Structure 1
Amino acid sequence: MEENISVRKYVEVCSKEDGFLGSYFVAKVVGRVGKERLKVEYTTLVSEEDENKRLREVVPARDVRPCPPTIEVAEFHELQKVDAYDREGWWVGRVIGRVGGGDEKYCVHFDSTGDKLVYSGSMLRVHQEWEDGIWVPSREEVNLHGFA
């Protein structure tokens, strides 16, 4: 996590909960709790006690990263690593093929769950890694006999 992430900045928080491990959820930083933790308010998750209120929680700063920049692409290609927006968060997967005719729909495989799900291109983004304080598009080599 960047030291200079400030209050009121939008970030992504990595989930450590079972069933959500490795997914990222957009939140706004609403405060600091010491040097190692941040208080965040999620943009899409709601409180269990009051579903009219957004979920707020204190998270380790190491589980927070800035929101990645948008990389415009005309289409996604087979075996490309992507993030898919599903269940209110971003999940890392790999395009394994196109589906249907005119609409740009893609079948995405998720290593974390083994699921294969179909998404419109608007629900996908180019996967990027947060490395040494900068966003880098995934350069992961693909093993053509399976997933990398």
Structure 2
Amino acid sequence: MNPKSPQSQKMRMQTKIKTKGLENRRQQHHPQLEPTTSTPTQFNFYHQNPPKPPYSLYPVGSQVEVTSDEDGFRGAWFVATVIHPPSFETPASESSSSSLFVEYKNLLAEENGCALLKEFVDVAFVRPKPPVDEEKDISFEVNDVVDAFFQDGWWTGVVTEVVERNSRYKVFFSNPPEELEFGSSDLRVHKNWVDGKWVRPEKEVWMLL
């Protein structure tokens, strides 16, 4: 495998996780996998509507997903649980009134360690964990917008080919342009958290350039 290829860069991401969380991993050169179209997100909602105290939105024990605006992590969502903040730490942001303390389900605090990563995150980058699809065997079609579980997070892409019905699909990510194959167990229906509601986007056509 070419060490300079985007896929090789992705595979090196797991060995470069640092203790300070997502914000300090901008130098890891993880490729950005994000949609090319702009859709309403909870970021606009929070900036236009002053939020309630974060722990009233997401009480301790809530299952959530966390994203980041850092290069290499935009468009990815990482599963986490809201936990009690430690008394000896303070939020990294200037205002603690907008922060939550979370423990990630799949991200480790240290390279080759076993302790899960815990950190303060701004509530604007947090959303509830999407509802589980009721259908046991979901069948995707070409141009469906999906989330693919890859490198410990959920990344948004578009189905470009049905390799095997109800089993395997090829998914295209926009930046860098790349197509990868996934089993159905690593895919879910993509939904946006908009104004406190889950919204499923229309089908999209993304082209490999």
Q: Tell me the TM-score normalised to structure 2 length.
A: 0.62
Please give the alpha-carbon distance, in whole angstroms, between the structure 1 residues aligned to 2:113 and 2:151. 16
For 1:1-148, what aligned pairs fall within 5 Å after superposition? Answer: 3=52, 4-31=57-84, 34-48=96-110, 51-71=113-133, 72=135, 74-99=138-163, 101=164, 104-138=167-201, 140=202, 142=204, 146=207
CA positional deviation for 1:16: 3.1
The answer for unaligned runs of 5 or more in structure 1 is none
For 1:63-96, what per-residue CA distance to the aligned partner results, in whole angstroms no more than 9, with x for missing partners? Answer: 0000011223531000000000010110000000
* 8 Å CA contact 2:66, 2:77 repeated in 1: yes
Query: Relative to 1, partners in 2 of residues 1:103 and 1:136: Cα closer, same or farther, differing over 3 Å?
Result: closer
Q: 1:103 to 1:119 in 2, by over 3 A?
A: same
Task: Point out where structure 2 has 5 or more consecutive residues left out of the alignment.
Answer: 1-41, 43-50, 86-90
SS in 1 for 2:160: strand
What is the rounded CA distance, in whole Å, between the counterparts of 1:108 and 1:102 in structure 2?
14
Per residue, is there more strand in 1 or in 2?
1
Shift of the 29–105 alpha-carbon distance from structure 1 to 2, 3 Å rule, reads same
- The Cα of 1:122 is off from its aligned counterpart by 1.1
Residue in 1 aligned with 2:35?
none
- Whole-angstrom CA distance in 1 between matches of 2:78 and 2:107: 8
Deviation at 1:112, TM superposition (A): 2.9
Shift, 1:18, TM fit: 3.0
Give 1:113 deviation, angstroms. 2.5
Using the alignment, how far apart are the partners of 2:166 and 2:197 within structure 1? 33
User: Structure 1 length as normaliser, TM-score?
Assistant: 0.85
**Structure 1 residues 102, 22: closer, same or farther in 2, change over 3 A?**
closer
Aligned length: 144
In the alignment, which residue of structure 1 is the partner of 2:39?
none
CA contact (8 A) 1:15 1:25 kept: no
Structure with more of its chain in helix, by fraction: 2
Q: Which has the higher contact order (CA 8 A, sep 6+)?
A: 2
